[in-house]
Structure 1
Amino acid sequence: MSALIRLAWRYLWAQPLTATLNLLLLSLGLAAISFVLLVSEQIEAGVRRDLAGIDLVVGAKGSPMQIMLSGVFHLDVPTGNIPLSTLKTLRAQPLVARAVPLSLGDSLRGFRIVGTEVSYLDLYGASLAQGQLWQAPLQAVLGAEVAQRTGLALGAEFAGSHGLGEQGDAHEGDAYTVTGILKPTGTVIDRLVLTDLASVWQLHEAHHGSAADAAPEDEAEEIARREITLILLSYRSPLAAISLPRWVNAQAGLQASAPALETARLLRLVGTGTDVMRGFAVVLLLAAGLSVWVALLNAVRARQADLAMMRMLGAPPWRVAALVGLEAAILAALACVIGLALGHGLCAVLGQLLADRQSLRLTGAWFSLWELSLPLVAASLALLASAWPAWRAYRLDVSDLLQAPR
């Protein structure tokens, strides 16, 4: 059998340009399928992780999609601010199990600085790897990816930049102190800098020249004056999903965004692109199958004398047919290895590009169970492409070839 495989290998590369073209088409088709599987599964898994425990996002009037993207995935700018008193009102609602406030606006080298409460960490099961949580204004806790990419350690100081870009005006007068670093969670919190709400208020009052040194005010006056950006809600019962968004939208200046609905819309948009990629991959595979079929058919015709000699030396018909099938099988095996390597490599490159933009996390190390079907797809395509040429080789009449005029 090993001799037959070696002979099939030599026959395959007897026409290197044709073999390379067929290998390229098969590899690109399999790589496209692998890439689509890896990206779509990682996006869906990331969405599920980042939505953990968040049933509703409340923000200023505007696009629900924008509110969801800015409040859950931190990929967009928020629609505006809402009164801090809204938080107290929502926490008093019997249908609300948990309400977590967020104050946004600044960033550190492109990583968003989020003013919030400790309960935000509970949404993602985040815990400290080093240090402690913030105890006072202008103390910050870094997500695992932020700490890794910025190189900041415990006790380091940094100034936030206004806005989400790295070109925003820096708050040079007031620097944050790193008091803690979180363990990696694989969620959006890895890409965030967390602090308390008072830090955000203090910085922006100073930035806008507000009366930061004014006389102390009582709690009611402070709540009436303060603003936050978003509130993440968790429902106490399924009934809240029906009544609470309607109630929020009826309030002046408030907009409710249901992450489950908005992410379903988002994934449908992403699904359109993946469907196009899958269609492109199928076209490539069909073209590769047709090309392999033509190449093998021509090879059988060109090697009739060689195949007849094998028959005369005692090779049974099935062995001659198996030689043709082995050529296609070797080609499919090579294409499968190259295609999977290309798919994972492209996913790793895309993941690095997204990481540089503090966006979704993708990795080439992800493995999809559906990828186990790719060798079967490649083998099936090789079998179909080689079936007719192998049958022609099997039916080869040695006596006719010997009697044919030279």
Structure 2
Amino acid sequence: MSIFILVWNYLKARPLNTAINIMLLSLGIAVITILLLFNRQLEQKITDNARGIDLVVGAKGSPLQLILCNIFHIDFPTGNIKLKEAERFAKHRLVKRAIPLALGDSYQSYRIIGTSHAYAELYKAALAQGDWWSKTLDVTIGANVAELTHLKIGDTFASAHGLADGGHTHNDHQYIVKGVMKRTNSVLDNLILTNVESVWEMHEEHGEEEHEEHETSAPATGFIPSPLVSSVAKGDSVKEITSMLIQYRSPMGAIQLPRLVNSQSSLQAASPAFETARLFSIMGIGVDILMGFAYVLIVISGLSIFIALYNSLKERRYDLAIMRSMGASRTKLFVSILLEGSVLTLFGSILGLVMGHGVLVLLSGLVEETRKAGIDGFVFYNQEWIILGGSLLLGMISAVIPAIQAYRTDISKVLAGN
């Protein structure tokens, strides 16, 4: 009889023990897989979304909140800043590019951003359909927005104040969809882009005169706006924006500009590199706790496999002795026990990997926030091979002592005792 068939029959003979050992290990592997996939993809998204942005300038408050709101668009603004004061830093000799952002409204929880074409160019966005926004109340929407809201070119919609559903709706002003962006796997997929003047018009008092339609003068390439928003007279002291995204002209900007903004103005400067490092450290605490729990499960499953194999030897001593008397070598008995532990961990590992990917596939299909974050259950990493190899090694280690006991089986004593 083949050693593989023999091992398989032994496992089938104890279905409850086999199932418990496989499930214990698979749960631990599934938790590790989910954490690996979620953590790696989230870190990659955070890094990609912050790439090309050296500094965020906005209202004073929490620097991390400033970054979360204006780069990742998952928090509320710290406030607004005067356009006049923002322009002062936009024209600084150390600034290569300054991109204005005006926030405040949303549509079906998708944030509407008043900005320039340079913001789309920052993420190398391209059009899937239609055109870029050009006039006040024109919008170009991200791929997820188009897919989940079913907006298409030519559709009109009214924005709601704030991010949550149920806010005050600006029914007097309707946005019109001019274009849909290709998927960029960045924050742009979840945004509705327009010009800054559109955001201002939405929040004008009813008695104010309507703005005329303005063409956006900012080109799709790098620019140093003067002023930041083309339709406002230089030095306007009334208009406000939410923040500016700044790129440095030289490394000297990283040394001088944040200190200049924080000490010589009412504004706040936050470094995406520094704040995202803080964010990773905060996230890391929770990930480490869950990872520790997963390792505990794996260690428990290893002990369970060891106990199951060790106890089974008492029941199989006679079988092993018969095998030896029929010509099976000590090595064959040793290998069969090692193989049994390896097969248990192999099944548990494969099931755990499948469960981990399956959970993320279900989450991305059922939970909109997971889909917005771009978490994909069909992504595979090389570390998963390490998980699989480590699990097989654990199974072999758990089976070593029972295998040695099988190797030392004394035929004469066992048969004489039975």
Q: TM-score when scaled to structure 1?
A: 0.95
SS at match of 2:203: helix
The letter of the residue matching 2:83 is L
Does residue 395 in structure 1 map to residue 414 in structure 2? no
Counterpart Cα distance in 1 of 2:383 and 2:77: 37
Residues of 1 paired with 2:416 and 2:287: CA distance? 57
| Structure 1 equivalent of residue 208 of structure 2 | 211
| Separation in 1, partners of 2:169, 2:318 | 80
2:306 pairs with 1:307: no
* Amino acid paired to 1:144: A
Point out 4+ residue stretches in structure 1 off by more than 6 angstroms: none
Match of 1:286 among 281, 292, 299: 299
Determine the structure 2 residue equivalent to 1:332. Answer: 345
Question: Contact between 1:354 and 1:361, CA under 8 Å: does it hold in 2?
Answer: no
CA apart distance, 1:213: 4.5
How far 1:366 sits from its partner (Å)? 1.6
Give 1:71 deviation, angstroms.
0.2
Tell me how far 1:358 sits from its aligned partner.
7.2
Deviations 1:235-284 (A, max 9, x none): 11111111111111124431111111111011001111111122111111
- Provide the TM-score with structure 2 as the length reference: 0.92
Question: Any idea what SS the aligned residue of 2:179 has?
Answer: strand
CA gap 1:334/1:372 in 2 versus in 1, 3 angstroms: same
When structure 1 is superposed on structure 2, of 351-360 and 186-195 the one drifting more is 351-360
Judged with a 3 Å threshold, the aligned counterparts in structure 2 of structure 1 residues 387 and 309 are, in CA distance, closer, same or farther, namely: same
Q: CA deviation at 1:154?
A: 0.7
Q: CA deviation at 1:374?
A: 1.2
Offset at residue 351 of structure 1 (A): 3.8
Aligned to 1:106: 105
Answer whether contact 1:95 1:237 (CA < 8 A) is retained. Answer: yes
Percent identity for Structure 1 against Structure 2: 41
Q: Residues 213 and 320 from structure 1, CA distance in 2 versus in 1: closer, same or farther, beyond 3 angstroms?
A: closer
| 8 A contact 1:91–1:99 mirrored in 2 | yes
Give me the whole-angstrom Cα distance separating, in 2, the residues matched to 1:17 and 1:203.
Answer: 65
Structure 2 counterpart of 1:191: 190
Partner of 1:53: 52
Question: SS in structure 1 opposite 2:106?
Answer: strand
What do residues 45-104 of structure 1 show as CA deviations (whole Å, max 9, x unaligned)? 001110021011111111111110000000001011111123321222011111000000
Q: Which residue of 1 aligns with 2:358?
A: 345
**Equivalent residue in structure 2 for 1:376, among 389, 393, 408:** 389
Unmatched tracts of structure 2, length 5 or more = 213-230
Partner Cα distance (2:73, 2:371) in 1:
9
Equivalent pairs counted in the alignment come to: 400
Cα 1:210–1:356, aligned 2, differ >3 Å: closer, same or farther?
farther
How large is the RMSD of aligned CA atoms in angstroms?
A: 1.8
Shift of 1:349: 3.7
| Per-residue deviation, residues 12-35 of structure 1 (Å, max 9, x unmatched) | 122222111111111111112111
Q: Residue type of the partner of 2:128?
A: A
Contact 1:355–1:361, Cα closer than 8 Å, also in 2: no
Structure 1 residues 382 and 32: alpha-carbon distance in aligned structure 2, compared to 1, 3 A threshold: same
Q: Is this contact kept in 1: 2:84–2:237, CA < 8 A?
A: yes
CA 1:36–1:132 in 2, change beyond 3 Å: closer, same or farther?
same
* Deviation for aligned residue 1:353: 5.9
Matches of 1:153 and 1:83, distance apart in 2:
34
Would the alpha carbon gap of residues 116 and 153 (structure 1) be closer, same or farther in structure 2, given more than 3 Å must change? same
- Which range is displaced more, 146-155 or 361-370? 361-370
Q: 2 CA distance for matches of 1:245 and 1:350? A: 40
**Which residue in 1 is equivalent to 2:260?**
247
